[in-house]
Amino acid sequence: MNTVRIIGGKWRRRLLRFPDHTGLRPTPDRVRETLFNWLGQDLTSLCCLDLFAGSGVLGFESASRGASKVIMVDNAPSVIAALKKNARILDSESQLEIVEEDAVKFAASLCFTKRYFDVLFIDPPYKQGGLSKIMPFLPELLQEDGFLYVESEQPLANLKGWVTVRHKRAGQAFYYLMQKEEADASG
């Protein structure tokens, strides 16, 4: 099993264990630190959706920082088992919902529920087209003033309907904080 450390909030310094799985690469500490500086360290009462959850570190970081509800979605049984075990160890099952399903199918099904999130985390496996498949559903899932976080193996240019609020690069990864185009992007 691999490990990644939660860097902030009530579970700061706690280790999460996760299995080896194709395409699974946890968001590095320095990228998470930047992301949560952009979002603000306190996510109290926010509702977050972590599609392509993998290690779950973005979801667990959000819950650690006070998010009232975090849904983590992945389709690999071994990954789901590790997410559930980490949730039990942290005694966070009431805050977290772990869903075993294809992220694109889950996002599509959510569009019919009129359920909206304050923060969406999208970090699909590289070179598999996950980002282009899921992007059409995201505007229907995000609160008007909510934030979309995207990690990609290549620079993102002119995503229709989205405004980049902040962006950086770390090694091979490009990461972005975005809002809907019609929302106030002064974030």
CATH code assigned at 36: 3.40.50.150
Range 148-169 average pLDDT = 90
pLDDT at 186 over 60: no
Question: pTM higher than 0.85, yes or no?
Answer: yes
Question: Within a domain: residue 15?
Answer: yes
Surface-to-core class of residue 34, CB atoms within 10 Å of its CB (0-12 exposed, 13-18 middle, 19+ buried): middle
**Residue 120 predicted with pLDDT over 90:** yes
Residue whose token pair is 């569009």: 111
pLDDT in tens, 61-118: 999 999 999 999 999 999 999 999 999 999 998 999 999 999 999 999 999 898 899 9
Identify whether the C-beta of residue 34 lies closer than 8 Å to the C-beta of residue 58: no
Identify whether 185 is part of a domain: no
Higher-pLDDT residue of 159, 51: 51
* In a domain? residue 163: yes
* Enclosing domain of residue 60: 2-180
Residue 27 identity = T
The per-residue DSSP string of 110-160 comes to: HTTTT--EEEEEE-PPTTS-HHHHHGGGGGGTEEEEEEEEEEESS-----T
Q: Is residue 187 domain-resident?
A: no
pLDDT digits (tens, 9 = 90+) for 4-57: 999 999 999 999 999 878 777 778 889 999 999 999 989 999 999 999 999 999
Among 4-8, 119-123, 155-159, where is mean pLDDT lowest? 155-159
Domain assignment present for 151: yes
Residue 184: helix, strand or coil by DSSP?
coil
CA–CA dist 42, 36 (Å, integer): 9
Split at pLDDT 50, 70, 90, the class of 125 is confident
Cβ proximity of 59 and 96 under 8 Å: yes
Q: Please state the domain count of the chain.
A: 1
Judge whether 186 lies within some domain.
no
Does the residue 143 lie in any domain?
A: yes
Is there a contact between 166 and 40 (Cβ–Cβ < 8 Å)? no
For residue 21, the model assigns a pLDDT of: 80
Residue 87 included in any domain: yes
